[in-house]
Amino acid sequence: MQPDLLAADFQRDRGSFRDPDGYIVRRGERIFRVILPAAVERWRQFASSGLAAELQSAGLLVPTCEVDSLVPDLQAPAGSVVLEHERIPFLSYPYEWTFAMLRDAALLQLEIMERALRHGWILKDATPYNVQFRGVTPLFIDVLSFAPLQPGEIWAGYNQFCRMMLYPLMLEAYKQIPFQPWLRSELEGIDPLIFSRLFRGLQHRRPGVLTHVTAQAYLQRKFASADHSVRREIRSAGMTPQMIARNVQNLRNLVTGLHPPRQKTTWSDYSRSHYTDDALARKEAFVGECVAGRQFKLVWDLGCNDGRFSRIAAASGNTVVAMDSDAGAIDRLYGELRKASGGANILPLLMNVANPSPAQGWAGSERVSLTERGKPVLILALALVHHLVISANVPPAALVEWLAETTRELVIEFVSKEDAMVRRLLLNKDDTYADYNREAFEQYLARWFRIERRAELPGGTRVLYHAVRG
């Protein structure tokens, strides 16, 4: 028994309550999974099958080990087994991912399915919530999703894969409609019946629509009206592993061929467009001085744009969550980090700071809010304040108060009304922002923070502050 791990210290994860085979518990920075007695034998088979070792060796499955001695501490039912997983630095959800991120998560699921079938196993489900990103690398995290493949068995997760991964990708690729709002409002994904109504006439000829959309809608109607088990009927038709493998390969080819519509990134080259070389160099130096030689457990870069300052913060070994509301900017940053070798500790997320992800799902707690997942020690809020105040009408005092409640250290930029960008934002608005000025902003900062240093950039319209909670 490990005396430092007591039952009172463990917190049951609210997102794993649906799984009848086990649940996740947290203790500080450590992540444990309790496998209930009925599922222990299947876990033992999986752990010794060679599949688990193959997936972990390939970097596809979260590193996991058994720690049976913790069962008494967790007060788990007799006969349970406890695993410890490597901790993912920051949790994210599919409605915060870009097109490329969701596509990579889908391809990860399909690759794991192909490997599992070769070992005589199958994934019971196919939810993107079983995938997390460690930096920009997708990782499968649910070891209880694996089951031995039974004769004639169908892939029960296929419908879920369509609803939660394939349809969202098709929605954006074929209809130029962002999938994130849909997935944020419908945690079970896009209903086949509803999705099928978006395709008319020749649109059914688009790759995958007839096979994976129209056919799924037909089967759903059949399920709803049947007075017998349609699933048993399909199983009795003699599904073979080869048939499942062909379907998985077809899906993989389809997903690989889906691409987002060409989109102009709103702030595609913000730094170069709004700063002289000298001003940009001073801004980079200022941020570098604030993080140099220091280790922050978690950094948020709000309004990260091209990730220039996320990279500076990450160079010191910090975990950085780089957030922006511009899907094009985040998708580009994600792609660049995937190609480079320096993106292991930067997680790009599509996030509107004025409307961040809330707590939602069952009992309002199944998917936790942005701040509940881990508050940052340091926030970078560069070239952001004027957008939140003028475009989103967030009062400056309220913004600074929220930042103070969220972090203890802040690197923030104030852009005055004389700046060309602010003048552009005010073109079609009444200037009702009487307290949007440098003097008032510094007073708001001083209520909550101690200003350690400030630097006025060349041009006189932009000022940087390094502030620490008193």
Tokens of 189: 């994904």
| CATH entry 3.40.50.150 includes domain 271-469 | yes
Poorest-pLDDT segment among 78-82, 221-225, 279-283, 397-401: 221-225
Q: Please give the pLDDT value at position 5.
A: 46
For the chain, give the percent of residues with pLDDT over 70.
91
Q: Which of 268 and 198 is assigned the larger pLDDT? A: 198
Kindly write down the DSSP assignment for every residue of 217-281, as one continuous string. HHHHHHHHH-SS-HHHHHHHTTB-HHHHHHHHHHHHHHHHT--PPP---TTTTHHHHHS-HHHHH
- Give pTM, 2 decimals: 0.93
Closest Cα partner for 183 from 371, 348, 357? 357
- Which pLDDT tens digit goes with each residue over 422-453? 999 999 899 999 999 999 999 999 999 999 99
For the chain, give the mean pLDDT: 91
| CA–CA gap between residue 143 and residue 60 (Å, rounded) | 11
Domain boundaries, the chain: 11-85, 94-256, 271-469
Q: Please give the pLDDT value at position 68.
A: 67
| CA–CA gap between residue 287 and residue 296 (Å, rounded) | 14
Tokens of 291: 């993080």
Cβ contact 128:105 at 8 Å: yes
End-to-end CA distance of the chain: 41
Largest CA distance in the chain: 75
Q: Please give the pLDDT value at position 344.
A: 82
Q: Would the CA dihedral through 186, 188, 193, 199 be positive or negative?
A: positive
Q: Please give the pLDDT value at position 28.
A: 85
Read off the pLDDT of each residue in 179-204 and give the average, rounded to a whole number: 94
Q: Please give the pLDDT value at position 466.
A: 98
**What's the distance, CA 85 to chain centroid?**
18
Give me the sheet containing 64-66, strands edge to edge. 11-12, 22-27, 30-35, 81-85, 64-66
- Which pLDDT tens digit goes with each residue over 14-47? 888 888 899 999 888 889 999 999 999 999 999 9
- Which pLDDT tens digit goes with each residue over 117-145? 999 999 999 999 999 999 999 999 999 99
Q: Please give the pLDDT value at position 432.
A: 93
Going by pLDDT thresholds of 50, 70 and 90, the confidence category of residue 11 is: confident
Read off the pLDDT of each residue in 270-283 and give the average, rounded to a whole number: 81
Q: Please give the pLDDT value at position 75.
A: 72
Kindly write down the DSSP assignment for every residue of 393-437, as one continuous string. ---HHHHHHHHHHH-SEEEEEEE-TTSHHHHHHTTTS----TT-S
Q: Which of 249 and 71 is assigned the larger pLDDT? A: 249
Read off the pLDDT of each residue in 272-295 and give the average, rounded to a whole number: 90
279 exposure class (CB count in 10 Å sphere: 0-12, 13-18, 19+): middle
| CA–CA gap between residue 418 and residue 431 (Å, rounded) | 13
Contacts of range 333-340, beta carbons closer than 8 Å, 24 or more positions apart: 333/304, 333/306, 333/307, 334/98, 334/100, 334/101, 334/136, 335/100, 336/307, 337/135, 337/136, 337/307, 338/100, 338/104, 338/136
Residues whose CB falls within 8 Å of the CB of residue 121, separated by 6 or more in sequence, listed in order: 46, 49, 51, 146, 147, 148, 149
Q: Please give the pLDDT value at position 6.
A: 47
| CA–CA gap between residue 320 and residue 94 (Å, rounded) | 18
- Which pLDDT tens digit goes with each residue over 212-237? 999 999 888 877 766 656 556 555 55
SS3 content of the chain, % helix, strand, coil (to 5): 45, 20, 35
**What's the distance, CA 262 to chain centroid?**
22
Q: Which of 49 and 265 is assigned the larger pLDDT? A: 49
For residue 99, pLDDT beyond 70? yes
- Which pLDDT tens digit goes with each residue over 356-395? 999 999 999 899 999 999 999 999 999 999 999 999 999 9
Sort strands 11-12 and 449-456 into parallel, antiparallel or unpaired.
unpaired
Alpha-carbon distance values, 130 to 66, 69, 127 (Å): 20, 26, 6
